[in-house]
Structures are given as C-alpha cells and as structure tokens.
Amino acid sequence: MVNITLEEVPLGHSAQTSSRKRGANEQTATLQKRNKQLEEENKQLSLSLDELDSQHNLAMQNVLELKTELQEKLSAVTTSYEALKKEHADKFINSELEMARLKKQLDSTMQQQKGLESENQQLQMQVTNYEAEVKKSIEDMADLQALLDKKTQDNVELIEKVKSAGRLADKSADQLMELQQRVDQLTKELEDAKQVKEKKTSESSTSSMGKHSDDEFIVVRDGDANSSGPATPPTKEELKDKIVQLENRVSELTLENGSLALKLQDSEMEKQLALTVMRENVQELRTRCEETDTALKLAREELEEQQENLESLKEKAAEAVIAQQQLKALAEEKGKIETEILNMKENLQNVLELEKRLLFSESEKETLQIELQRVRATQERITELESKVQNLIVENQQLRLNAEAETETQNYSAELAERIKSLNEENETLRAEIESIAHSKFSEAIAEEKQEITDLDADDDEPLTVDKIKELLSSHIKSKLTGEMEEACRAVQERITRTVNEMERKISRLSEELLDLQDSKLVWDHEKKTLEADISQYILQCDELMKNNEILLNELENYKRNKLETIQEHNEQSVMDLEAELEEASKMNETLEQEYVEQKEKNEELEREKQTLTEQLRAAQTQCEELRSAEKELKIQLETLEIEKGNMLFELNEQKSLDSKQTDDDVLLKSAEEKCQNLESQLAHLSKDHADLVAALQTQKTALQEAIMKREEAEKCLLEKDMLIKRLDENLKEDLSSEMQKKLDNLTSLNHELKQDLLAKDIVLESQKKKLLQAQANLNVSDGKVHELEELVAEKEKALETSRILLDESGKAKDELSEKLRQQKVNLEQLKQLKQEKETLLNEFEELKKKCEAHSDELKALQESAVTSTSNHASAITPLPNWKPSSWQQLNCRSPSQR
C-alpha cells in the first residue's frame, strides 16, 4: 500500500501545483484589484474632505456675514424705535389738543340740538305715518307666521311618514330574519336527508356483506358498526316526498321575497313623494323669504334717509375714533417691533445652532481623518499581508516541489534498491566467473610452469619450492586482473555516487512532503471520525425505522386476521354479488350527482335574487344621497338667514345708539325689535324643523345600515350553507370510495388466502428468493455506499473549491493559510483512500453479481420444478377474474425490509 501511494502522489501533485498556482495568481490579481479600489476610495474620501473643508469655510463666512447684518439691523431697529416713540408722543399731544377742540364742538352741537328739537316735532308727525305703515307690516308678518305654522304641520306629517318608512324597514328586516330562519331549517332538513341517505347506503352495503358472509364466508365486523346502525331507516319515497316539500318551501320563500321587494319599492315611492312635497314647501318658503327681503329693503332705504341726517354727527365722532385708532396702530407697530426683536433673537439662536453644527461637522471631519488614517493603516497591513501571501505562495510552491522531489527520491530509492540487488547478483556472477577464470588460468599457468621447469631442469640445478611457485602465480595473475578490476570499480563508484546524490535530494523533498501529508492525514482522520459518528447515528435511525416498519406490518397482519376468517374455495357468486353492489353504488353516485346539480341550480336562483336585492339597496343609497344634498341646501339657506339676522342685529344696535339721542324714534326701534324677534322665532322653528329632519334622516340611515348588515349576514349564511353542501357531497364521495376500497381489499384478501396453499409448497423457493434478496440488498447497500462515497467526494471537491475561494478572500494571517493547506492535503489523502475503498467495493459488487447470477440459475431450475408441482393443484382451484399472478409474485418476491 505504501508503494502505491508513493507512486500515485506525484501524479496528483503535478495537477494540484498548476491549480494552486492559478489560485495564487487569482488571489494576487484580486488583491491588486482591491488595492486599486481602496486607493480610489481614499482619493474620493480625500476629495470629499477637501470639499467639506471648503463648505465649512463658506459656512463660517456666511455666519460672520449674518452676524454683521443682524447687528446692523439691530442698530437700525433701535434708531427707528426711538424715532417712532418721539412721533407717538407728538401724536398723543396733538390728539389731546384735538379732543379739547372736539369738546368745544360738542358744546356748539348741543346748542344746535336745541334748534333741532323743533325739527324733531315735525319728524314725530312723520313717525305717526310710519307707525301706520309698520302696523301694516305687522299684519303681513302675522300672515307669514300662519304660513310658517302650516309648513311646520307639513314637516310634522313628513316626519311621521319617515317614521312609518322606518317601521316598514324594521318589518322588512324582521321578515328577512324569518327568511333566514326558514333557510336554516331547510338546510338542516337537507342535511338530515343526506344523513338518512348515507345511513341507507351504509345499511345496504352491510346487508349485502351480511349475505355474502352467510352464503360463502364469515366477516368479523367491529362493535361500533353494530351499535351505530339505525333501527328503521326511511325509504326512497319518503326522501323524495321530503325533497318535494323542501322545493315547495323554497318556492314559497322566493314568492315571499318578491312580495317583500314590492313592499320595499312601495316604501321607496312613498319616500320619493315625501321628498317632492318637502321640496315644494322649501320653494314656497324661499318665495316668501324673498318677499320679506323686499319689504326689509324698503325699510332699510327709509332708515338710510334718516341716517343721512345723522352722518354729520357721526363724522365728528369719527375723528375722535380715528385718533384712537391711530393710537392703536402705534401700539400695534410697537408690538410688531417687539416681534421683530424676538425674531432677531431666534435668528441669533439659529446662528448659535449653526455654530454648534459646524463644530460637530469639524468633529466628524476629525473622525473621518482618523478613519482615513485607519484605512491607510489597513491598506499598509493589506500590502504587508499580500507580501506575506506571496511569500507563502512561494514557500508553498517550494514545499510542493520538495514533496515532488521526495516522491521522486522514494521512487528512485526503490529503483536503486532494485539496481543494487541486480548489481549484487551481477557481482556474484562476476565473482563466480572470476574464480572459474582464475582456476582455469591457474591450471594453465601451472602447466606452463611445469613445462618451463622441465625445460629449466636441464639448465638449472636449483630446486623449486611450492612457495616460490605460488608467488610467481599470484604476481602473474594480479598483473593481469588489477587493470580490469580497477576500471570496473571506478565505473560502479561513479554510478553509485550519482544515484546516491539524486536519492538524497529526492529523500529530502519526500521528507518535507511526508510531513505535510501527515498533517493533512490527521485532519482527514478527524473528519473521518465525525463522518463515522454521523453514519452510526444514521444506522441507528434506520434500525429504528425498520423496527417501526415491522411493528406496523405485524399490526396489519393482526388486523387482517381479525377482519377475515377462512373462506371457501368457490367464490364466484361472492364476486358477482360484489360486482352488483358496485353497480348499485355507481347508480347511487349518479343520483347524488343529479341532486347536487339541482341544488346548484337552486343556489344560482338564490344568487339572482340576491343581486336584485343588492340593486334595490343601491337605489335606496342613491335616494339617501339625494336627501343629503337637499339637507346641505337647507343648511346653506339657514346660514344665509343667520347672516341676515346678524346684519339686522347690527343695524338694530346702530339704531339703539341713535335712539339714545332721539327719544322720538323709540317706537320705531321697538317695532323693528319685535320684527327681529318674530324673525328669530321663525328661524328657531326652521332650525327645529331642520333638526327633526336630520334626526329622521339619521334614523333612516341607521335602519338602512342595519338592513345592509342583515343582508350581508344572510349572504354569509348562504355561502356557509353552500360550503356545507359541497363538503357533504365530498364526504359522500369519499365514503363511497372508501366502501369501494373495502370491497377491493376483501377481494385481495380472498386472493391472498387462496394463495396460502401455494405458498406452503413454495417455501423452498421463498428461502432461495430471500437469499437472493439479501444478496441484492447487500448489493444495493454497496451501491448506496458507493453513491455516498461519490457524494462525499463531490462534497469534498466542493469543500476544496470553497477553501480556494476562502484563500482568495483571506489575507488575515499566515496560520490560517497554513491550516487550510493542511486540510487540503488531508482531503487529498482521504480522496485516495476513498478511491481505494471504491475499487474494493466495486470488486465486491462484481463478486456479488456473479453470486446473484448463480442464484438466479438455481431459481429458474426450482421454478420449473415448482410449476410442475403446482399445475395439479391449480386444476382444483378456479381462478378469479381480477386475479393477476404477476402482482402476487411481486408481493412474494419483496424482501421484509421493502414490505
């Protein structure tokens, strides 16, 4: 395993180094972009600060200018105030002098009045004539009062009519309530009828099931069904009669609604007639008021003639009033000056606030400068971090290169070990050859020396010893072999030194990569432990789910056992009966659908009636708006009359001031006051009539609003009833569908029980199938594990991508970068391990496939043997029409976990 990893590491690192270099380049590019952005932002901030400085200077200049202007205004105001004081003092002295002059003139006027008394006597004669005219006007006012009394009576009659209309509205509201109660009763009766139908359908289904149980099989029913069934259900004819009665009641209600609508129309016509009468009366009042206005104008003209005589006296009094008004104007000017002084103070306060704001802006400027300094410090830090990141990138590249070198050294070490072995073998072979050559040469040399000795025996008489012979041989052999051995040894030493140097280099690189890989392995081990813990929890959850599934299956089997008992073999009649019941149920569904359609049509008719009623309500609302407009017109008329009353009172006050000087005109003033009182009484009557009309309109409004609310409540009730009807229809359909499902379940249970005999004979097949299913389950588990491993690989690749993105964004510290690099290396090791595990799982998967094929061959043989055994038994059992052996086999072939 170690050799495999060492061979696979450099292949992965060669791709990773390029990707990491790209990531580092991208990081540097992004950091450079960020530096440029920050520099641009710093430039913008510096420009904004310069602008703030310029604005601050301009604001200070403006404030100083405002201060100078305010001081100038204060000086001007003080000078003007003093001049005004002097002027007012002069005017006051002049006014006192004029008052003295006016007093002298008053004395002269008193003397003139004595002369005018004679003229007043003449005027009294004229006043008597005016009194006669006034009496005539009083008679005319009496006639007007009689007309006003008639109008008040007409108003009373109108109020009574309005009250009668309100009573009719109340009666209509009561009738609507009665209609609602009747509709509620009808809905209740419909619900009762539907419940009776449901009970009938349930009893028919129970009776049919009881027949089947008496004829062919016994069905165990629950105790609740026995207790809840009614004793005497109604027949179809009774239900139809009830439905006919309900329809008749609905038609009666519609007729009553029509009559009520006609009554409402009559009441509305009466209201319109009353409004027309009111309008005519108002027009008559207007004409009479115009006549009174003409009479008043004539009286005013006469009074104006009298006032012209008194204007000369008023002019003299007006001069004194003018003097007083001048004093008041001076006081007002003084107040204006004081207000201007207050405004000046407020302006000063505003200036102080501006100064405060300027100080605050200066403080903000200082804070911004501090923030700029911080930003610059951060930029410097960023540049330092970028340099650190670049250094780290260089170091990482060096580490990667070292790791690659280490892997290469390990590979070379393995190759060197093999070469050393081969060299040792070659050395051994060379030694053997050298020894053989040495022996052959030694024997040849001995032979030659023997010949030489024999040749020399004749010449020399000296004896040759063995030692001498050996020395001669060794010197001869060494002289021949030393040259060859030295050359071979030198070549071998050169090769060994080269390989050793390369091995040392590679070993140094590999040692550094091994350290990094060990760190990454620790991280991957930690993640592996966490994954194993998660997998263990997942396995526990799966076990719990399997247990719960088994419990549910046991409960279903117990329910089926309690629900059904043994069934006979021949069940064709029961199936036919069930089909007949299904047809009856379908017919019942059709009838219910027809009834539902009829009810929908009735609801549509009711909605149409509702629309008509809404239109009537809209018409009533329009009438109310018209009444409101008439009311507004009356209010305007009252306001005009009140204005005229005020004018008359003003004129009366003027006349009273004149009557204090002219005693003879008292009678005329009293008559005018009586006229005013009469007019006030008329206005009071009119105001009372107006208030009564307003109260009647308000009562009508409240009655209409209550009717609208009741109408809305009735609409809501109808909608709720429609919803209830729809829900009941849905419940009926669901009940019918549930009954159909129960019948189908009974059929499936019959089929299941018929197949139990066959299952007894196919136990061996099932056991083999279970084995196959277990093998398939193991295969599925292995596939799931492979899929999970692939998902883990994908997730870890995503994690690697996220880590690269984080490396792009991060520039905080060297420690974080180193830890992330370690995590990446650990992820690579885990990926390698996962690949190895994947290969092992694939091998196991292929083995299991082979086993499955063998088991499938065995199963085919067993099925052929089972078919022959079951053919005899199948002849005794009649097949059902809805029975399908394919589905049966699929149910039997399922594993307990799948069930």
725-743 pLDDT tens trace: 667 667 666 665 666 666 5
DSSP 894: S
Q: So what's the pLDDT on residue 117?
A: 73
Residues with Cβ within 8 Å of 102's Cβ and at least 6 positions away in sequence, in order, are: 316, 319, 320
Q: How does residue 60 score in pLDDT terms, banded at 50, 70 and 90?
A: confident
CA–CA separation, 445 vs 476, rounded Å?
9
Residue 693 · residue 638 · CB < 8 Å: no
Hey, which residues does 564 pair with through a beta bridge?
219
Q: So what's the pLDDT on residue 227?
A: 40
Q: So what's the pLDDT on residue 541?
A: 72
What backbone phi and psi angles, to 5 degrees, belong to 564?
-125, 145
CA–CA separation, 755 vs 148, rounded Å?
107
Residue 775 · residue 851 · CB < 8 Å: yes
Over 50: is that where the pLDDT of 570 sits?
no
Q: So what's the pLDDT on residue 831?
A: 67
Q: Cα 775 to the chain's mean position, in Å?
A: 49
Residue 568 · residue 203 · CB < 8 Å: no
Residue 516 · residue 402 · CB < 8 Å: no
Over 50: is that where the pLDDT of 897 sits?
no
Q: So what's the pLDDT on residue 890?
A: 40
Q: So what's the pLDDT on residue 244?
A: 77
Return the exposure string of 699-729: e unless at least 16 CB atoms fall within 10 Å of the residue's CB, then b. bbeebbeebeebbeebeeebeebbeebeebb
Q: Hey, what are 163's tokens? A: 């009250």
For residues 220 and 234, which has the higher predicted lDDT (pLDDT)? 234
Q: How does residue 135 score in pLDDT terms, banded at 50, 70 and 90?
A: confident
Instruction: Over range 472-488, report the average pLDDT.
Output: 60
Lowest mean pLDDT among 232-236, 757-761, 859-863: 757-761
DSSP 661: T
Dihedral sign computed on CA atoms, order 456, 461, 464, 468: negative
Q: So what's the pLDDT on residue 779?
A: 58
For residues 168 and 8, which has the higher predicted lDDT (pLDDT)? 168
Dihedral sign computed on CA atoms, order 648, 654, 658, 659: positive
User: Minimal CA–CA distance to 359: which of 56, 62, 65, 61?
Assistant: 56
Where do the structural domains in the chain lie, given as residue ranges?
2-378+581-746, 405-520, 555-580+747-893
For residues 868 and 764, which has the higher predicted lDDT (pLDDT)? 868
pLDDT digits (tens, 9 = 90+) for 68-110: 777 787 777 777 777 777 777 777 777 677 777 777 777 776 7
Q: So what's the pLDDT on residue 727?
A: 72
Over 50: is that where the pLDDT of 324 sits?
yes
Instruction: Over range 771-797, report the average pLDDT.
Output: 64
Q: So what's the pLDDT on residue 824?
A: 61
pLDDT digits (tens, 9 = 90+) for 628-668: 776 677 767 767 777 776 776 777 677 666 656 556 656 66
Residue 736 · residue 860 · CB < 8 Å: no
**Which uninterrupted H or E stretch holds 219?**
strand 217-219
- CB under 8 Å, gap of 24 or more: what pairs does 418-424 form? 419/499, 423/492
Q: Cα 650 to the chain's mean position, in Å?
A: 69
CA atoms within 13 Å, Cβ hemisphere of 830: 28
Q: How does residue 885 score in pLDDT terms, banded at 50, 70 and 90?
A: very low
**Which uninterrupted H or E stretch holds 567?**
strand 564-567
Percentage above 90 pLDDT, the chain = 0
Residues with Cβ within 8 Å of 873's Cβ and at least 6 positions away in sequence, in order, are: 757, 758, 761
Q: So what's the pLDDT on residue 567?
A: 41
- Give the number of other Cβ atoms within 10 Å of residue 299's Cβ: 19
Over 70: is that where the pLDDT of 697 sits?
no
Q: So what's the pLDDT on residue 502?
A: 74
pLDDT digits (tens, 9 = 90+) for 577-628: 667 766 776 777 677 777 777 777 877 777 777 677 767 767 766 766 776 7
Residue 413 · residue 511 · CB < 8 Å: no
Q: So what's the pLDDT on residue 238?
A: 73
CA–CA separation, 551 vs 544, rounded Å?
11
Q: So what's the pLDDT on residue 675?
A: 64
Over 60: is that where the pLDDT of 891 sits?
no
**Owner of token pair 């990569």:** 513
Longest dimension (CA), the chain: 220
**pTM for this model (two decimals):** 0.19
Q: So what's the pLDDT on residue 3?
A: 40
Indicate the residue type of 894.
R
Instruction: Over range 551-555, report the average pLDDT.
Output: 73
Angle at 171 between CA 170 and CA 172, to 5 degrees: 90
Question: What average pLDDT is seen over the chain?
Answer: 67
Residue 510 · residue 411 · CB < 8 Å: no
Over 70: is that where the pLDDT of 815 sits?
no
Indicate the residue type of 282.
V
Q: So what's the pLDDT on residue 8?
A: 39
Instruction: Over range 526-531, report the average pLDDT.
Output: 76
Percentage above 70 pLDDT, the chain = 42
DSSP string, 692-751: HHHHHHHHHHHHHHHHHHHHHHHHHHHHHHHHHHHHHHHHHHHHHHHHHHHHHHHHHHHH
CA–CA separation, 227 vs 243, rounded Å?
29
Lowest mean pLDDT among 202-216, 520-534, 546-560: 202-216
